[in-house]
Amino acid sequence: MKILIVDNDKKLLDSVKCELKETRYEVHYAADGDEGLRFALETRFDLIVLDWTLPKKDGLSVLKELREQKVLTPILMLTVEDSVQDMIRSLDSGANSCVNEPFAIPVIIARMKALIRRSKWDNDLAWT
């Protein structure tokens, strides 16, 4: 299982990697929106964790472009904005789930696993 985290917060990446170290998840990292978009278009991931506030290209723009390119990978959006409107914009743009910062790492991990699990179930149902 491959996870792409697009966030310029190295502490978040280290925390997620630490939590997932004994699982079958392979964590990849991009520090800006341009790099994250390129990785997501070049490699198939099981989940993308995408921060709204990124250097070079913001997360919402990356999300929209991925969906325009028909990338159906589940996407968990992270935002520091405690705004209902931002959550709605994320979901309307194609995010599968949103989380406002600050958040607890175990909650993010649980959401990540739930999105991957749901995606697998959806794929399994599509083939029956």
Higher pLDDT pick, 23 / 88: 88
The predicted pLDDT at position 123 comes to 56
* Residue 7 main-chain phi, psi, to 5 deg: -165, 140
Q: What is the pLDDT of residues 54-109, one digit of tens each?
A: 999 999 999 999 999 999 999 999 887 667 888 888 999 999 998 887 778 888 88
Q: Name the DSSP class of 5.
A: E
**What is the spatial distance between Cα 66 and Cα 94, in angstroms, rounded to a whole number?**
9
pTM, entire model: 0.86
The predicted pLDDT at position 128 comes to 43
The predicted pLDDT at position 124 comes to 53
The predicted pLDDT at position 120 comes to 67
CB atoms within 10 A of CB 48: 29
**What is the spatial distance between Cα 98 and Cα 95, in angstroms, rounded to a whole number?**
7
Choose which CATH entry (3.40.50.2300, 3.30.70.141, 3.40.50.300, 3.30.1490.100) describes domain 2-126. 3.40.50.2300
HSE-CB of 57 using CA atoms within 13 angstroms: 16
Query: Residue 97, class by beta-carbon neighbours within 10 Å (0-12 exposed, 13-18 middle, 19+ buried)?
Result: middle
The predicted pLDDT at position 99 comes to 87
The predicted pLDDT at position 122 comes to 58
Domain boundaries, the chain: 2-126
C-alpha 122 chain-centroid distance: 18
Q: What is the pLDDT of residues 5-20, one digit of tens each?
A: 999 888 888 888 888 7
